[in-house]
């Protein structure tokens, strides 16, 4: 038989009205609401209802699953798991984000902060649900894989994720490589800021789910085969990124060479005998082979038809600016049951990395960014052409291909804008 705590009718009325008021306030009060529901549950006073679920339905229009999530949020995110106050590290999180996080393993909670979107959390959970053995078998089947310059290369899972992340963002990659070529701390920080315009981005590929945070927080990634996420500083991650694409100067040429070998079915040329000196390991990854110096090759394939990932790269978490409004009880129930309290474009596996705009709800801003990017690459190409001493035709061609790619995306976005205006 259940034991109930003794309360006065005044206490019961206060708690009941407290819940009603908090439902109309911000998402941070979901911990508060969960605590009050627990108090009423533990008191056994349901105002004629059979249990806390029927009570919450009659009083506030809350479904059973919503009540359960309010209580679970309190137990997981409140101080000591049983208080009115949210733990400091979760303040600013939206209710839908807290709800999505309930089923994440404790080790992966460290990957989430107030700027992580609900979509990123959902994709992380989908990543966790995949069969590691099947994914690893598929990864090993394409390793070694053809690299630029006609060589063969054993890429690590992290390097494969990096390569996939930039496949439709080659103009952004070129800017990053140009910044890293400066060899300065300032250049590295600018590269990090370029990759995280909203202070956070993510990408998943194969065995790796990668999170990029702001400069001070660094980079973390989850390997499907390991329980704990790995951490890198931004300089460490950027060193791995640079080594992945070296020694080529052109991002477009890297993918052109790789795709040309894959499409033509050519046997890659083996690298020369290694000297026996191995690359030093970072905390997380070892670059297993270097490309042979001077074998940068050149593909005649023109990749002007690359499609961008189509997502809203400018998406930001609602918690990053103002608290998320709870709204009416029915709205709260929907938000908690489905986790749809935040918007996120469907599809794709990357977020936050700029250069391929065109997602829902942000077309005008994305179009302006595309125009600016086209101007940037045009100016750089002009500077290279004017260098009469030793113009780098390979880099010039890389810039021109990046311009063609951006123009294709720009035309597509303008078509969408025109269509939307006609529909209005």
Q: Helices (DSSP H) in 167-302: which residue ranges? A: 170-181, 185-195, 234-245, 251-264
Structure confidence at residue 362 (pLDDT): 45
SS3 content of the chain, % helix, strand, coil (to 5): 50, 5, 40
Span 375-388, mean pLDDT? 77
Q: Would you kindly state where each structural domain of the chain is located, as residue ranges?
A: 1-91, 106-325+344-353
Span 155-165, mean pLDDT? 93
283: exposed, middle or buried (Cβ count in 10 Å: 0-12, 13-18, 19+):
exposed
Q: Is the pLDDT of residue 198 over 50?
A: yes
Q: Is the pLDDT of residue 232 over 60?
A: yes
Token pair of 248 as six digits: 């080529």
Q: Is the pLDDT of residue 81 over 60?
A: yes
Q: Is the pLDDT of residue 366 over 80?
A: no
Structure confidence at residue 318 (pLDDT): 33
- Per the model's pLDDT, the better-predicted residue between 345 and 151 turns out to be 151
Q: Is the pLDDT of residue 190 over 50?
A: yes
**Percent above pLDDT 90 for the chain:** 38
Cα–Cα distance, 360 to 92 (Å, whole number): 25
Q: Is the pLDDT of residue 374 over 90?
A: no
Q: Which of 221, 163, 219, 202 is nearest to 351 (CA)?
A: 202
Q: Is the pLDDT of residue 424 over 90?
A: no
Span 303-326, mean pLDDT? 34
Asked if residues 225 and 267 have their Cβ atoms less than 8 Å apart, the reply is no
Query: Cβ contacts of residue 249 below 8 Å, gap of 6+?
Result: 177, 181, 392, 394, 395, 398
Structure confidence at residue 188 (pLDDT): 95
pLDDT digits (tens, 9 = 90+) for 251-295: 888 888 777 766 555 444 433 333 333 333 333 232 222 223 333
Span 345-373, mean pLDDT? 50
**Percent above pLDDT 70 for the chain:** 66
Structure confidence at residue 411 (pLDDT): 83
Q: Is the pLDDT of residue 108 over 50?
A: yes
Query: Cβ contacts of residue 76 below 8 Å, gap of 6+?
Result: 98, 101, 102
Q: Is the pLDDT of residue 53 over 90?
A: yes
Structure confidence at residue 231 (pLDDT): 97
pLDDT confidence band for 206 (50 / 70 / 90)? very high
pLDDT confidence band for 216 (50 / 70 / 90)? very high
> Cα–Cα distances in Å, from 213 out to 101, 350, 351?
18, 14, 12
Q: Is the pLDDT of residue 394 over 70?
A: no
pLDDT confidence band for 161 (50 / 70 / 90)? very high
Span 408-414, mean pLDDT? 78
Structure confidence at residue 210 (pLDDT): 97
Span 165-178, mean pLDDT? 91
DSSP 292: P
Structure confidence at residue 78 (pLDDT): 93
Q: Rounded to two decimals, what is the model's pTM?
A: 0.59
Chain mean pLDDT for the chain? 73
């Amino acid at each position: 038989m259940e034991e109930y705590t003794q309360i006065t009718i005044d206490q019961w009325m206060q708690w009941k009205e407290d819940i009603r008021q908090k439902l109309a306030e911000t998402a941070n009060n979901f911990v508060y609401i969960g605590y009050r529901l627990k108090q009423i549950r533990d008191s056994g006073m349901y105002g004629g209802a059979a249990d806390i679920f029927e009570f919450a339905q009659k009083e506030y229009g809350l479904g059973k699953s919503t009540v359960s999530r309010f209580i679970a949020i309190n137990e997981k995110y409140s101080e000591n798991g049983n208080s009115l106050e949210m733990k400091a590290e979760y303040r600013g999180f939206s209710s839908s984000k807290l709800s999505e996080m309930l089923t994440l393993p404790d080790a992966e909670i460290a990957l989430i902060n107030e700027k992580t979107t609900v979509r990123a959390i959902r994709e992380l959970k989908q990543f966790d649900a995949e069969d590691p053995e099947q994914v690893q078998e598929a990864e090993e089947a394409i390793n070694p894989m053809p690299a630029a310059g006609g060589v063969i290369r054993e890429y690590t899972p992290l390097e494969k994720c990096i390569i996939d992340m930039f496949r439709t963002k080659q103009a952004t990659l070129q800017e990053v490589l140009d910044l890293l070529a400066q060899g300065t701390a300032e250049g590295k920080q600018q590269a990090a800021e370029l990759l995280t315009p909203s202070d956070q981005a993510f990408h998943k590929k194969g065995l790796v789910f990668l999170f990029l945070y702001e400069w001070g927080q660094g980079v973390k990634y989850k390997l499907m085969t390991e329980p704990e996420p790995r951490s890198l500083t931004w300089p460490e991650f950027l060193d791995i990124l640079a080594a992945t694409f070296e020694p080529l100067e052109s991002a477009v040429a890297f993918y052109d060479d790789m795709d040309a070998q894959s499409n033509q079915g050519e046997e890659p040329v083996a690298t020369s005998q290694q000297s026996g000196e191995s690359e030093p390991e970072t905390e997380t990854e070892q670059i297993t082979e270097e490309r042979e110096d001077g074998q940068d090759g050149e593909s005649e394939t023109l990749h002007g038809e690359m499609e961008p990932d189509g997502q809203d790269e400018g998406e930001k978490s609602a918690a990053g600016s103002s608290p998320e409004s709870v709204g009416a009880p029915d709205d709260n129930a929907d938000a908690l049951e489905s986790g749809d309290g935040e918007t996120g474009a469907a599809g794709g596996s990357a977020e936050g990395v700029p250069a391929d705009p065109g997602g829902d709800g942000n077309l005008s801003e994305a179009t302006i960014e595309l125009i600016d990017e086209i101007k940037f690459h045009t100016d750089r190409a002009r500077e290279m052409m004017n260098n009469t001493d030793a113009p780098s035709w390979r880099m010039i061609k890389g810039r021109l291909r990046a311009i063609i790619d951006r123009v294709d995306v720009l035309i597509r976005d303008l078509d969408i804008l025109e269509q939307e205006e006609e529909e209005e």
